[in-house]
Amino acid sequence: MARVHTVPQILHFFLYFSFILCCFTGFVSANRELNEDNWREILEGEWMVEFYAPWCPACNALAPAWRDLSTRATRKALGVRTAAVDVTKSPGLSGRFVVTALPTIFHVIDGEFRQYKGPRDVESMLGYVEDQRWKQTDPVPAWKAPHSVQMTLVAEFFKLSQALRSVHNMLMETYGLPTWGSYLIFALATIFIGALLGLVLVCIIDLLYPPRRSDKVFVSQKELDKRARGDQDAKEKSDDDQELINDDIVDDDENANNSDAEKNSPSDSSEEEKEKETEGGGDTKAADPVDRPEVRKRRPRKAD
């Protein structure tokens, strides 16, 4: 008889334990901890995502309300799930979502992101989802969406900065290097990596766009001598032509001066004297060679 009463009690205890386990499982799954590997789960369905840090006082103050939001949303079967991101463990996600203050809350539905900026009490956050007040908030633009290519690059830079910070702390704490020593190592590494990348880039450009090769023209020594003689003859001819031009200029200047002197001299002889001079022209010698200016002889031109 005692055994008959024991079986229902065990059955009731098993059902109660199963119910508690289901509720606890639903609660744990509702508070999903996101990281770099599983964050894309929020691209499907409706989510409320919190970004926090363990050292943040405001984040610690929000923690009870956030747990209450998860519990009440599960009880009401609103279909919304909650998740949290620890920025100290996943710095790439904080860069991907452009988190500038803590805590930061996002509402996500089918890959569409909206930042929640309302009150942080349970009723306000629950009404934001239940009454669909998120429709009054503008979504994050496409170029700033966390799953876009450019934000993926930003996330990689954030992860790189976190890795460099870890190396910096390791150099100072483990190896006892001073701060300036760690910075010096980073500076030398940056210069080396920059030079290496520049060399690789130049090689790639030369491979894709090789420089043009100039066509070489071979000239014999005989042709070179001929060209040299031609240049020398042309130079001598040019010098002779220049001397002839200078001689012509000098002759023209002398003739112009003589004509001006003849115009300015007074004529004292009369017409009779001119006739006598004409008649006696055979007896007396004309003084033309004396009076005339000397005629400058031109240099003979060389034959071409």
Q: With a cut of 90, say whether residue 209 has pLDDT above it.
A: no
> When comparing pLDDT for 259 and 49, which is higher?
49
Q: Let me know whether 198 and 120 are in one domain.
A: no
- Sign of the CA dihedral running 179, 181, 184, 186: negative
pLDDT category of residue 176 using cuts at 50, 70 and 90:
confident
Q: What is the pLDDT of residue 225?
A: 72
Domain assignment present for residue 247? The answer is: no
Q: Which residues are catalytic?
A: 56, 59
Last residue of some domain: 128, 144, 160? 144
pLDDT-above-90 percentage for the chain: 35
Q: What is the pLDDT of residue 158?
A: 84
Q: Let me know whether 89 and 166 are in one domain.
A: no
Q: Let me know whether 81 and 63 are in one domain.
A: yes
Q: What is the pLDDT of residue 42?
A: 93
Average pLDDT, the chain: 77
Domain assignment present for residue 231? The answer is: no
Q: Let me know whether 27 and 136 are in one domain.
A: yes
Q: What is the pLDDT of residue 7?
A: 47
Q: What is the pLDDT of residue 43?
A: 92
Q: What is the pLDDT of residue 263?
A: 54
Is the pTM of the predicted complex or chain greater than 0.85? no
Q: What is the pLDDT of residue 258?
A: 64
Mean pLDDT value of segment 285-296: 47
Q: Let me know whether 134 and 164 are in one domain.
A: no
Q: What is the pLDDT of residue 22?
A: 47
pLDDT tens across 99-151, in order? 999 999 999 999 899 999 999 999 999 999 999 999 999 999 989 999 889 98
- Please report, for the domain that includes residue 80, its CATH number: 3.40.30.10
Domain assignment present for residue 30? The answer is: yes
| Residue-number span of the structural domain to which 18 is assigned | 13-144
Beta-bridged to residue 116, according to DSSP, are: 105
Q: Let me know whether 99 and 201 are in one domain.
A: no
Domain count of the chain?
Answer: 2
Strands 104-109 and 46-52: antiparallel
Rounded CA separation 256/262 (Å): 10
pLDDT category of residue 288 using cuts at 50, 70 and 90:
very low
Q: Let me know whether 63 and 104 are in one domain.
A: yes
Domain assignment present for residue 223? The answer is: no
Mean pLDDT value of segment 42-61: 94
